[in-house]
């Protein structure tokens, strides 16, 4: 157990670690929201140009994130030879993870990692809390190989009774240490945990009584988007930030030309007027001037097709770097056939499979950890069970059904192949399997009944025939 001095020192060190990470994470977060990446403008530029720069944002980063997140959906948890979900699947349902699992995938894909804190509430029910790396920081002795962290620091704003308070929890391998960092006044620098004032408050926070979490390890599971021997964790968004800013700049140039050069520009020599006179003159179809020295001419309109082609080229390059289907970024490819779409999504599906492998291991950690905390030894010690992912690959329904029928013709029970049909939920699969079993039982009963109404065949010497079966 950490004493008060050790805990305060650890919180201070963890906060400094968060600050070193937040610079990178906040930059990615603001790019995702569209608050960064605008074209650079010279000083004292006109307000109209500034407005065009803000309107030129063509943010495709959320599309890249969602291209992978929408293909990640866990629909079951079972052992290799089991026909039904593991009893531990109830924990998944209790935590509403069918809907909430995306809260793990999105930050993991965006930043490279996400976390799930696994604890038990006052009633002993295991709770899973998804957290982004902007909310939770974890310390590993060897971040590349360690399965569990040494310590974890989680911070959030408690909105109870409409009185926001900043709270935190420190986890080690035995206890949870609740921390109250004080009230958050409205319109205050305290809203921002990056300020010096907040840093000074770290020495005066209130610490609650340590609470045993019931696990033998720090109960925080890390979800890693992709691993690398050098950088350890790699996200999908950071490598695309420069390309996103370049895309915005080209789109800004296109909007400038569209606003000021897409129509014939009129040139008047020998005359000058006030701004309102120039505006009225620009809207006239016929101009007349009393001064014979005034001359008018016009420039040919600019061609926007070159900008459009460049934007399409850049979108395709971003899709290539991100390894997503170009149809996710370029709507011109949205009306292709299923076979063509499947070919275009080949690289995306291979990359998605890598994420399923990584995230699947983390979900299995969550299940085993939940079993340890809840005292379910069968769940905690079952290392053969694995999560089942929904098949989201773009294939025609007829082709899948044809493949299932061919497999069934080889003798494989049809109920073992129902999972391969796309778009069928676990509940529907269970209903289909139950229906198949009922039909099999009904067919057996019918066959026995029919046999019982028929006369017994002639008996062989020394063989006693059973009584006829009746319905």
Strand locations in 324-385, DSSP E?
Answer: none
The whole-number pLDDT of residue 467 equals: 47
Residue with tokens 């008996």: 459
Q: CB atoms < 10 A from the CB of 386, how many?
A: 18
Cα–Cα distance between 97 and 47 in angstroms, integer? 47
Cα–Cα distance between 180 and 199 in angstroms, integer? 14
Cα–Cα distance between 262 and 256 in angstroms, integer? 9
Under-70 pLDDT residues of the chain: 185-204, 231, 262-265, 273, 277-287, 299-301, 333-344, 393-402, 404, 407, 414-471
Cα–Cα distance between 152 and 129 in angstroms, integer? 13
Secondary structure (DSSP) of 242-306: HHHHHHHHHHHHHHHHHHHTSSPEEEEES----HHHHHHHHT-SS---S-TT-EEEEEPPP--HH
Task: Tell me if 59 sits within 8 A of 34, measured CB to CB.
Answer: yes
Over residues 143-176, the pLDDT tens digits come to 888 899 999 999 888 888 778 888 899 999 999 9
Tokens at residue 211, please? 């609470």
Cα–Cα distance between 227 and 361 in angstroms, integer? 13
The whole-number pLDDT of residue 46 equals: 85
Is the four-CA dihedral 240, 245, 250, 252 of positive or negative sign?
Answer: positive
């Amino acid at each position: 157990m950490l004493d008060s001095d050790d805990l305060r020192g650890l919180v201070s060190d963890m906060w400094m670690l968060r600050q070193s990470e937040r610079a990178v994470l906040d930059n990615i977060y603001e790019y995702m929201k569209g608050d960064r990446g605008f074209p650079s403008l010279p000083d004292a530029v006109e307000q109209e140009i500034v407005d065009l720069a803000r309107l030129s944002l063509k943010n495709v980063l959320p599309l890249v994130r969602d291209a992978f997140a929408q293909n990640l959906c866990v629909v079951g948890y079972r052992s290799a030879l089991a026909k039904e979900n593991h009893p531990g699947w109830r924990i998944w349902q209790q935590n509403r993870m069918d809907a909430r699992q995306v809260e793990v995938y999105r930050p993991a894909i965006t930043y490279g990692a996400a976390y799930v804190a696994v604890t038990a509430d006052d009633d002993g029910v295991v709770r899973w809390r998804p957290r982004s790396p902007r909310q939770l920081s974890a310390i590993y002795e060897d971040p590349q190989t360690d399965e569990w962290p040494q310590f974890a620091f989680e911070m959030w704003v408690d909105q109870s009774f409409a009185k926001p308070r900043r709270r935190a929890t420190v986890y080690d391998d035995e206890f949870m240490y609740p921390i109250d960092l004080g009230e958050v006044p409205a319109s205050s620098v305290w809203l921002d945990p990056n300020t010096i004032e907040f840093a000074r408050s770290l020495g005066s926070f209130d610490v609650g009584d340590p609470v045993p979490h019931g696990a033998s390890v720090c109960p925080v599971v890390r979800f890693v988007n992709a691993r690398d021997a050098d950088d350890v964790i790699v996200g999908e968004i950071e490598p695309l930030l420069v390309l996103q800013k370049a895309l915005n700049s080209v789109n800004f140039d296109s909007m400038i030309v569209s606003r000021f050069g897409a129509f014939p520009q009129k040139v008047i020599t020998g005359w000058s007027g006030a701004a309102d006179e120039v505006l009225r003159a620009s809207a006239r179809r016929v101009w007349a001037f009393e001064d014979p020295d005034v001359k008018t001419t016009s420039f040919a309109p600019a061609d926007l097709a070159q900008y459009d082609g460049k934007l399409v080229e850049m979108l395709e390059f971003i899709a290539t770097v991100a390894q997503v289907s170009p149809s996710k970024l370029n709507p011109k490819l949205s009306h292709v056939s299923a076979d063509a779409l499947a070919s275009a999504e080949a690289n995306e599906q291979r990359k998605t499979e890598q994420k399923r492998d990584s995230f699947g291991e983390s979900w299995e950690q969550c299940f085993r950890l939940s079993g340890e905390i809840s005292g379910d030894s069968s769940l905690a010690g079952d290392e053969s069970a694995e999560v089942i992912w929904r098949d989201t690959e773009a294939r025609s329904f007829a082709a899948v059904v044809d493949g299932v029928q061919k497999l069934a013709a080889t003798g494989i029970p049809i109920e073992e192949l129902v999972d391969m049909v796309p778009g069928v939920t676990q509940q529907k699969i269970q209903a289909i399997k139950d229906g198949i079993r009922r039909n099999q039982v009904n067919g057996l009963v019918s066959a026995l009944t029919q046999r019982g109404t028929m006369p017994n065949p002639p008996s062989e010497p020394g063989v006693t025939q059973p009584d006829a079966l009746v319905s």
